[in-house]
Every structure is written in structure tokens, then in C-alpha cells.
């Protein structure tokens, strides 16, 4: 435990002042759960979070976007299927595919949104064991050259919480082979596959590396006292999810 207060102001620890100029939009959909946690993670990483509403028609001047976890539209139809057609999503899809390569991170329901939007290939179906699962999960960073993983070492193992019901990542063999060959498997489950995902895939990226989606929740492992280490002691640290947020901030200000 360090001197950072367990509950209190979300103050970035030893962040570079120039990161504060980077604005990360966090989108709230009806049924979103983890938008405030994602915003807090951005602030703790040293950046400036910007609240975005799914019904907005403009993205504004944000430098990156996070699609947070939750149950948009109650997971009705398919997880992420209705939210994918929100007015703001078309702006995000265009910006992510543009030459400007807007960085986009989808966490859990956000990952499901990215596959429904076809920004990322494949899809998520119900966990193979059919149960909701919530645990601390070890992941290996397979690709540290994406916009969201530059602050990790290649092959680094991190522990972050995982909580989902529709977390089984699937794609056809050809797509999986292409993802592997192009280094687009960004995170892989280590030690235990919690949902039957093909090839233990926990997270993937698009070809350019600006769009990343993952099922586990790095935004829940950014603060001492609230991460895996404090809960059950299995993790190496409470804050191993913070790297995704510092990575994109450093990318935006031109360090990575």
C-alpha cells in the first residue's frame, strides 16, 4: 500500500503535466455501467476525460474515445447490437477508419460494440459454461505496438478483473489465422480460459492498431486498494490496467 488515498480525489500519480492536454471521450449509452470508472482511469493516467452521450451528433475535439463496459440496451437482441446504431457511433466509426486514425478502446460491452460495428472482426457469444463469470484474470500482452499498449513490454503479463456473460470470442478459422499472422491478437488469457474464447483470445486490434477491444476490465485495475492485489492477493499489482490509458495518452502527445 502506498500513500495514495483509497477513496478520494482521482489524482494522477507522477503523470507528465503535458498529458493533461490529451482529451479522451468516454461514451455513455443507455445501460452503460463503467463509464465513470473509465473516466477515472483516464484521470489517474494523467489525461482529461470528456463525457460523451450516445445521442450526440458530434464528437467534438476529443483525441481518443473509450466505449466502456455495461449492458447497453439491456443486451437485448445481441450485446451491443442496438447501441452500435447510435448517432455518435457513426461518427466514431468514420473517425476510426479515417486517415486521422482516431484511437478507440472498447472494453467488454464496448468490445461487443466494436465487433457489431465491424471495426473489429469476429463476434462474442455466450460463455461456453453459460454462467456470468467475475474473477481476476491474468492476460499476456501479445502486441505492444498498438495505440493502447505501447507502455507495456511485449509478453508482459498483467492481472485485471473480468466480468461478463457473453465473453466467448469467436471467428472463423481464416479470420483467426489472419489475426495471428498480422499480430492483431493483443491480449491472450493466461492459465485459464474463462469463457471458451477461440485461441484464448482476450483482445484484438484493427490492422492500423488504433482500434483495440478486450473483454476484461483494465479500468478496474488502476488504483491501489481497489485492484486484484488488494482483493485476493493473486495479482502482481493493483494497477496493471493503467498502462492502456497511459499508452494512448503518450501516443497522443507523441512519446510512444
Max CA distance (Å), the chain: 50
Cα distance between residue 215 and residue 127, in whole Å: 12
- 7, 14, 130, 181: residue in contact with another protein (rule CB under 8 A): 130
- Please report whether residue 180 would count as binding another protein according to CB under 8 A: no
Stretch that binds another protein, among 22-30, 89-97, 170-178, 213-221 (CB under 8 A): 170-178
Closest alpha carbon to 203 in 194, 212, 193, 211: 212
Active-site position among 54, 116, 142, 219: 219
Count interface residues toward another protein (CB under 8 A): 21
- CA-to-CA dists, residue 248 to 93, 105, 199, 201, angstroms: 18, 9, 26, 21
Q: Does 219 bind another protein (CB under 8 A)?
A: no
**Which residue among 28, 32, 39, 127 contacts another protein (CB under 8 A)?**
127
Whole-number Cα distances in Å, 174 to 58, 88, 115, 177? 36, 31, 16, 5
Q: Kindly state the helix (H) or strand (E) to which residue 205 belongs, with its residue range.
A: strand 201-205
Interface map 187-216 toward another protein (x if CB under 8 A): ---------x--------------------
CA 209 to centroid of chain Cα atoms: 13
The single residue among 94, 172, 177, 182 that binds another protein, judged by CB under 8 A, is 172
Per CB under 8 A, residues contacting another protein are 77-78, 81-82, 85, 115-116, 121-123, 125-130, 168, 170-172, 196
Amino acid at each position: 500500500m502506498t500513500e495514495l488515498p483509497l477513496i478520494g480525489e482521482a489524482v494522477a500519480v507522477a503523470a507528465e503535466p503535458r498529458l493533461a492536454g490529451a482529451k479522451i471521450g468516454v461514451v455513455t449509452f443507455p445501460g452503460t455501467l463503467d463509464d465513470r470508472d473509465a473516466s477515472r482511469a483516464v484521470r489517474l493516467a494523467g489525461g482529461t476525460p470528456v463525457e460523451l452521450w450516445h445521442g450526440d451528433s458530434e464528437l467534438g475535439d476529443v483525441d481518443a474515445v473509450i466505449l466502456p463496459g455495461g449492458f447497453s440496451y439491456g443486451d437485448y437482441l445481441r450485446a451491443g447490437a442496438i447501441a452500435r446504431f447510435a448517432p455518435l457511433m457513426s461518427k466514431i466509426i468514420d473517425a476510426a477508419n479515417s486517415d486521422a486514425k482516431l484511437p478507440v478502446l472498447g472494453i467488454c460491452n464496448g468490445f461487443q460494440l466494436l465487433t457489431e460495428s465491424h471495426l473489429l472482426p469476429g463476434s462474442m457469444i455466450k460463455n461456453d459454461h453459460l454462467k456470468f463469470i467475475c474473477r481476476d484474470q491474468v492476460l499476456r500482452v501479445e502486441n505492444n505496438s498498438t495505440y493502447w499498449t505501447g507502455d507495456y513490454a511485449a509478453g508482459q503479463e498483467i492481472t485485471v478483473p473480468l466480468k461478463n456473460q457473453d465473453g466467448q470470442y469467436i471467428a472463423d478459422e481464416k479470420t483467426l489465422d489472419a489475426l495471428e499472422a498480422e499480430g492483431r491478437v493483443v491480449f491472450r488469457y493466461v492459465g485459464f480460459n474463462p469463457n471458451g474464447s477461440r485461441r484464448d483470445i482476450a483482445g484484438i486490434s484493427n490492422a492500423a492498431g488504433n482500434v483495440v477491444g478486450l473483454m476484461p476490465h483494465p479500468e478496474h485495475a488502476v488504483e491501489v486498494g481497489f485492484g486484484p492485489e488488494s482483493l485476493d492477493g493473486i495479482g502482481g499489482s493493483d494497477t496493471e490496467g493503467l498502462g492502456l490509458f497511459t499508452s494512448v495518452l503518450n501516443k497522443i502527445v507523441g512519446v510512444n
